[in-house]
Amino acid sequence: MTELFQRLDAKKSKDIRVLGNFISIFCRENHQAEVRSVFPIKDERLGEVLGDRDLELCRDCSKLLNHGIAKLMLCPYDPKPMCKKCETHCYAPGYREKIREVMRFSGLYLVKHGRLDLMFHYLF
């Protein structure tokens, strides 16, 4: 996966940070009963993007975040459109529904908690 991150620019960095935030909020609020562990970061650049804070995620959410990061890095469009307006459905079946649920839930969560600063914009 390391080669992938050579194309990590400011915009993609921000998108990945938002993605990590949204999935970690969703997991924290919905999957307390699951076994959760620190999301493994295998690339230094990715580590910088996600910040020094560890993301605690269950297995499914870890997989979802990995999938989302890979898709972001491989997005053929520049600039990347908002996913919900994009005609290319690049997420694998199952992940697409899941990420929309995450975005809806965490977006609403941040609004309710007055954390619009963490929202930036909806990615999906």
27 near Zn ion (CB under 5 A): yes
Q: List the structure tokens of 31.
A: 């999957």
58 near Zn ion (CB under 5 A): yes
Q: Which is nearer to Zn ion, 5 or 91 (CB)?
A: 91
Q: Which is nearer to Zn ion, 8 or 65 (CB)?
A: 65
Given the rule CB under 5 A, which of 24-32, 78-86, 91-99, 103-111 is the region that contacts Zn ion? 24-32
8 near Zn ion (CB under 5 A): no
61 near Zn ion (CB under 5 A): yes
Q: Which is nearer to Zn ion, 49 or 61 (CB)?
A: 61
31 near Zn ion (CB under 5 A): yes
Q: What's the rounded Cα separation, in Å, for the pair 31 and 57?
A: 9
Q: What's the rounded Cα separation, in Å, for the pair 96 and 103?
A: 11
CA distances from 85 to 38, 82, 94, 117 (A): 32, 5, 19, 23
HSE toward the beta carbon, residue 39, CA cutoff 13 A: 28
Q: Which is nearer to Zn ion, 16 or 23 (CB)?
A: 23
In order, the DSSP letters of 85-112 are G-S---SPTTHHHHHHHHHHHHHHHHHH
45 near Zn ion (CB under 5 A): no
- The angle at the Cα of 99, spanning 94 to 100, to the nearest 5 degrees, equals 105
Q: How many residues bind Zn ion (CB under 5 A)?
A: 4
- The residues of the shown chain that bind Zn ion, judged by CB under 5 A, are 27, 31, 58, 61
